[in-house]
Amino acid sequence: MTGGSTTGDDGANAPSSGPQESRAPWPLWEVFVRSSRGLSHVHAGSLHAPDAAMAVRNARDLYTRRNEGVSLWVVPAAAIVTSDPDAKDRFFESPQGKDYRHATYYTKSEGVKHL
Amino acid sequence: MMTAPAIETDGRADDAGERLFNELIAQDSRIEPRDWMPADYRKALTRQISQHAHSEIIGMQPEANWITRAPSLKRKAVLMAKVQDEAGHGLYLYSAAETLGTPRDRMTEDLIAGKARYSSIFNYPVLTWADIGAIGWLVDGAAICNQVPLCRASYGPYGRAMVRICKEESFHQRQGFEILLELANGTPEQRAMAQDAVGRWYAPSLMMFGPPDEDSPNSQKSMEWNIKRFSNDELRSRFVGMLVEQVRALGLELPDKDVRFNEVTGRWEHGPLDWNEFKEVLAGRGPCNAQRMERRREAHEEGAWVREAATAYAEKQALRNGRAA
């Protein structure tokens, strides 16, 4: 497993901004939007904000200008743990060749109703 | 310059990474941020996406200038919503560009320092209310024409940002068209104002697609990488075809006597464009370049205290909650 965000920026080691401002860059947050009751929160994008409260407000302005959501999650990008993209063949190998996990594998019952 | 993933420095991993990259491109699949990618691909994308983001941000200015002068409360509300969308589009694109390794603050600094480019179209002055209509119809229309194929760009985050942007952009074009339609059906003065605006914005909007194919050296590579799907001239010709239909609905005229459909090539043709003007504007010598840059710099500097205060507040809250920031 490797740390880092879904957008690929681990947000941890960006150098501070140049001569005009010496503040450290605001952390990156990943934004998840629930479009309506009964559905799960889905990743919408990311933004920078100094803290969680500002991240939620910015997420509202940035990702729900047209009633796209009834609920928002913001997650510090640095807190997201991902599978290792370089090991994906090995890591996701187990389901390969196991078609019998899908209903479509079983064809003898074709024509039988409600099955 | 860029925080490249560690894998790029490993020769053996490079080979495997490059093979996978080429396979994914050949399959018309998508490249994601943590995948290996050629340095040139990363560089070209960073350049294109950040320029695109800068264009959205600078593009707020010519229209924001008209919010106080919009002719009704409804028009003010619409224009504010549009300007707010442009800010949002800039932020989606900065997020996408950032996944390639360039920090957000550096992109902002490059823009403010005059080191980065943005679309030449935003360096033209917005002289009358009809210009707001022409910008929506022609400038946003050209942008949509350019952006719809970018929804299928091979770089995942760019394509996803473009999908979101294209969905929102269609209202921009329609509101502009509606402004022109109302003026075109108004008093003779209003009609003349609409025709004048269309006359001034037509050629610059055609030049938004970039130089002719033979003068666009980056296009070829970009098409091989599935970033660009159609050439500059192809998109421009498609756009002209759309305008021919739409201008009839407006009852106005395109300031171009040479527009015609070429049966042999199956393409729309237009009159000559002033590519020297394009180069001049791009090089910073357009009518409003200095003003746009100055205004962007001011906004950044005048906003510094807000950013500092927000940072200080976050730090204080974090301390108070007993958690280190």
* Contacts (Cβ under 8 Å, ≥6 apart) of A13: B3
- Interval B48-61 mean pLDDT: 97
User: How far is Cα B207 from Cα B142, in angstroms, rounded to an integer?
Assistant: 9
Return the pLDDT at B83.
97
Question: For residues B201 and B135, what is the distance between their CA atoms, to the nearest angstrom?
Answer: 7
Mutate to test the interface with B, among A5, A7, A30, A83 (most CBs of B within 10 A): A7
- The DSSP line for A51-64 is SHHHHHHHHHHHH-
Q: What percent of chain B has pLDDT over 70?
A: 95
- B243 touches B145 (CB < 8 A): no
Torsion of CA A8, A14, A20, A23, to 10 degrees: 110
> DSSP string of B229-244?
-S-HHHHHHHHHHHHH
**B55 in Cβ contact with B122 (< 8 Å):** yes
Per the prediction, chain B carries an average pLDDT of: 93
pLDDT < 70 stretches in chain A: 1-22
The residue whose two tokens read 């357009």 is B286
Q: Coil, helix or strand for B260?
A: strand
Q: CB contacts < 8 Å between A and B, how many? A: 84
pLDDT at B322: 79
Write the DSSP symbol of residue B1: -
Chain A residue at shortest CA distance from B314? A51
A39 or B8, greater pLDDT: A39
- Convert B168-228 into a string of H (helix), E (strand) and C (coil): HHHHHHHHHHHHHHHHHCCCHHHHHHHHHHHHHHHHHHHHCCCCCHHHCHHHHHHHHCCCC
**Token couple for B3:** 């925080």
Instruction: Determine the Cα–Cα distance for residues A26 and B313; give it in Å rounded to an integer.
Output: 12
Pull the structure tokens for residue B127: 């002289």
Q: What is the pTM of this model?
A: 0.89
For A8, the closest of B13, B34, B317 (CB atoms) is B34
Q: CA–CA separation, A90 vs A44, rounded Å?
A: 29
Q: In the prediction, which pLDDT does B96 show?
A: 97
SS3 of A45, please?
strand
CA atoms within 13 A on the CB side of B147: 24
pLDDT for res A24: 82
Q: What is the pLDDT of residue A87?
A: 74
Please enumerate residues of B whose Cβ is less than 8 A from a Cβ of A: 3, 7, 13, 32-35, 81, 84-85, 88, 91-92, 95, 98-99, 101, 103-106, 108-109, 112, 157, 160-161, 164, 168, 300-301, 304, 307-308, 310-311, 313-314, 317-318
Residue-wise burial string across B280-297, b where 16 or more C-beta atoms lie within 10 A, e elsewhere: bbbeeebebbeebbebbe
How far is the CA of B193 from the CAs of B150, B181, B197, in angstroms?
34, 12, 6
ipTM value, please give it. 0.88
Q: What is the pLDDT of residue B64?
A: 96
Please tell me the predicted confidence (pLDDT) of residue B294.
96
Least confident of B178-192, B238-252, B311-325: B311-325
Please choose, from the candidates B28, B27, B92, the residue with its C-alpha nearest in 3D space to the C-alpha of residue B57.
B92
Question: In which residue are the tokens 């970033």 written?
Answer: B227
Q: Check A7 against B98: CB less than 8 A apart.
A: yes
* Residues B119/B89, Cβ–Cβ less than 8 Å: no
Report pLDDT for B107. Answer: 96
Model confidence at B13, pLDDT cuts 50, 70, 90, reads low
pLDDT single digits (tens) B246-299: 999 999 999 999 999 999 999 999 999 999 999 999 988 999 999 999 999 999
Q: What is the pLDDT of residues B147-190, one digit of tens each?
A: 999 999 999 999 999 999 999 998 999 999 999 999 999 999 99
d(CA B104, CA B98): 6
Structure token digits, residue A78: 């640095």
pLDDT at residue B57, as a whole number: 97
Model pLDDT, residue B311? 95
Dist. CA B325–CA B319, nearest whole Å: 7
Residue A87 sits at the vertex; the CA angle it makes with A81 and A93, to the nearest 5 degrees, is 105
State the average pLDDT over residues B233-238: 97
Q: Which chain A positions have a beta carbon within 8 Å of B157's beta carbon?
A: 7-8
Asked whether the beta carbons of B277 and B285 are under 8 A apart, the reply is: no
Mean pLDDT of B74-78: 97
